[in-house]
A and B are shown apart, each in its own frame.
Chain A
């Protein structure tokens, strides 16, 4: 059975801190790993990673994949209160099915 595990489950930081969120996986027929941000309702797309060692960046967020060790990290630098959300890691297999982790709840205090 496909499995995605995220850590930590929750994290409380202050504005300006840097955070690292972890995602490890065991998936048959791996195609890609995706990070989503979930605030109130729909998960919104952040990154899709398919190759090891290539960092993807978007502003203060960055992510990298290690296909040998089967994990990914999501970094957020200079956190802001607007970064408070649940961060979901999902792994995509054959036919596009996503298997989600349980999420990391990030709370950023002013």
Chain B
């Protein structure tokens, strides 16, 4: 069964460092998303991406964050100058359709720990 894959599964970094989280969405999907879940809290939307551009972003997704689809298969989330409060599980998701069709399929997540 096709699945969304994410790497790394866990990353530990020092405050102020840059991290890149990688995702390979399901191959025929056109819409890509990043969500995060701080321990014990709700899953929160960060950004949606379609046709090589951001469709929507939340207020969490400020200039510290960026997304890219560099090679037609990977979808990356870059977090610059990490802060302690960026520690969370980051989920990538993809869907076949956007607003009208298809459920979102989530990857296993990348746990980011900022020390």
Contact = CB atoms under 8 A, between A and B. Distances in A.
Contacts of A43: 43, 91, 106
Contacts, number: 63
B56 A97 contact: yes
B109 A42 contact: yes
Which bucket holds chain A's interface residue count? 20 to 34
Interface string A41-82: 111110010000000000000000000000000000000000
Contacts of A48: 103
B103 A45 contact: yes
Contact of A100 (B31, B44, B89, B105): B44
B108 A103 contact: no
B55 A95 contact: yes
Which bucket holds chain B's interface residue count? 20 to 34
A96 B104 contact: yes
Nearest to A46: B103
Contact of A96 (B58, B99, B107, B109): B99
B106 A44 contact: yes
A100 B93 CA distance: 14
A45 B97 CA distance: 15
B48 A100 contact: no
Interface in B42-74: 42-45, 48, 50, 55-56, 58
7 contacts: A31-B99, A41-B89, A95-B56, A95-B98, A95-B99, A96-B95, A97-B48
A31 B41 CA distance: 24
Contacts of A103: 42
B105 A45 contact: yes
